[in-house]
Amino acid sequence: MVSFKELGLVNTREMFAKAIKGGYAIPAFNFNNMEQLQAIIKAAAETKSPVILQVSKGARNYANQTLLRYMAQGAVEYAKELGWEHPQICLHLDHGDSFELCKSCVDFGFSSVMIDASSLPYEENIALTKKVVDYAHQYDVTVEAELGVLAGVEDEVSSAVSHYTKPEEVVDFATRTGCDSLAISIGTSHGAYKFTPEQCTRDPKTGRLVPPPLAFDVLDAVMEKLPGFPIVLHGSSSVPQEYVDMINKYGGKLPDAVGIPEEQLRKAAKSAVCKINLDSDSRLAFTAAVRKVFAEKPAEFDPRKYCGPARDLMTELYKHKIINVLGSDGKA
Ligand SMILES: [Zn+2]
């Protein structure tokens, strides 16, 4: 048993309380490798933004859970080296799918876990979430739960259709489970293809897809039922067209990739939405930078020469999100 406190990590409790009060959101960035982690920490340290490092099932399979945890521990020290005196870094399990997995993360030094039982029937979702909360809270580890179903594919989490969260369920759910935050479904979705062209309209000037707006009425209804309760948005990448264009220009093939417009996320960040998950955008930045190097310098074979530019582009992306979308800069 390792306490996250020994590792210099923090849970989400205070982070979220401050974010709701201050009208901003905490970035939750997924990481799978060193360059991504360096970019996240550098961006957070330079902007003095609290940050949530997320480990998904796919990341655990890819990079190994043990290694990722020690990387997060190292990230705290790296942040200090960068001049961030009291780093506000949370290590969070993204989409935990069983009690055993959540328990193993709590025991291993994670400061926050998500139990995603949203695909189960309502009462089973409550029972499993409560079991995780009861265990995690003994160690002051915070728990995110989910109500409603998001569409799209994120690692091994996938659903063809979304079902918006039912506002009439949230009070009962939050009260009976004791969860610390709630991921809701209001039209965001996982991946770089959040909407089909049929769901979108096309901008006549640019020919680009314009996605349907998020269901802010559902968010408003949830906030009315649960005033001041921390709300989480998954699948909130905006799929920056500059990266999509770069990927396509340098030999990639991402037709009609489309995400959530940043102005909608900006609006959400000012509300009780206090954690916004971003993964696909950094994948796009990484891929765009690597493709550019490969196309322009085909003789290059030192991974540092293409992972380095990828890291730089991700750092720029993370800083942009922190400063211009979430508003969490200067809050840690
Ligand atoms: Zn998610």
Provide the whole-model pTM: 0.95
Amino acid making up residue 128 = L
Percent of the chain with pLDDT over 90: 82
Q: What is the pLDDT of residue 152?
A: 66
Based on the residue annotation, tell me whether 94 is a catalytic residue of this protein.
Answer: yes
Q: What is the pLDDT of residue 8?
A: 96
- Comparing C-alpha atoms, which of 49, 32, 33, 139 is closest to residue 94? 32
Position 157 pLDDT exceeds 60: no
Cα of 190 from ligand 1 centre, angstroms: 6
String of DSSP letters for 5-19:
GGGT---SHHHHHHH
pLDDT tens sequence across 176-224: 999 999 999 999 988 888 888 888 888 888 888 888 889 999 999 999 9
Position 105 pLDDT exceeds 60: yes
Q: What is the pLDDT of residue 160?
A: 60
Cα of 54 from ligand 1 centre, angstroms: 10
Position 257 pLDDT exceeds 70: yes
Q: What is the pLDDT of residue 253?
A: 96
**Domains of the chain with CATH codes:** 4-326 (3.20.20.70)
Q: What is the pLDDT of residue 198?
A: 85
Percent of the chain with pLDDT over 70: 97
Catalytic, out of 94, 116, 279, 281: 94
Q: Which two tokens stand for residue 131?
A: 């079991």
Cα of 30 from ligand 1 centre, angstroms: 10
Cα of 116 from ligand 1 centre, angstroms: 9
Q: Rounded distance, CA 159 to CA 272, Å?
A: 26
Report the chain's mean pLDDT, rounded to a whole number.
Answer: 94
Cα of 139 from ligand 1 centre, angstroms: 24
Q: What is the pLDDT of residue 161?
A: 63
Position 307 pLDDT exceeds 90: yes
